[in-house]
Amino acid sequence: MISPLRRTLAVLPLVLLPLGAAAACGGEGTQTDCNLNSCTVTFDRGVEASASILGVKAELVSVQGQNVTMKIAGQQVTVPVGEGEQADGFNVTVESVTKENVVVKISNGAGGGG
């Protein structure tokens, strides 16, 4: 028979796993909302904004009109608002651009979504 303490210790890492995954998603000048296969990142404009998501670094490089230039895992890509592009195996979709921020959804190419 397994003692209650052993059962608790065995289950604890599984309970904490989602917290660790959420903590691994974030960066400077950004807000992130991540799940297993994708992240929605809100980049602040006017600052050097970057986030570590899905195991790679995502950086906002520039915004010119409705075109957003980003670096995903070191690969530069320009994406028009409302459209998507591929970068280093990731789907990158620009959801919105305002004076204050840029909202981008980044998902694993294998995960579908985009």
The Cα–Cα gap between 99 and 25 comes to 24
43 Cβ contact partners less than 8 Å away, ≥ 6 residues apart: 29, 30, 49, 51, 60, 101, 102, 103, 104
pTM greater than 0.85: no
**Largest CA-CA distance found in the chain, in angstroms, rounded:** 66
Residue 109: pLDDT band with limits 50, 70, 90: confident
Domain ranges of the chain: 4-111
Residue 22 pLDDT greater than 50, yes or no: no
What is the DSSP annotation of 75-93?
Answer: EEEEEEBT-EEEETTEEEE
User: Distance (Å, rounded) from C-alpha 46 to C-alpha 38?
Assistant: 25
Angle at 64 between CA 67 and CA 79, to 5 degrees: 15
The model's pLDDT over 38-94, given as tens digits with 9 standing for 90+, comes to 999 999 998 889 999 988 999 999 999 999 999 999 999 999 999 999 998 999 999
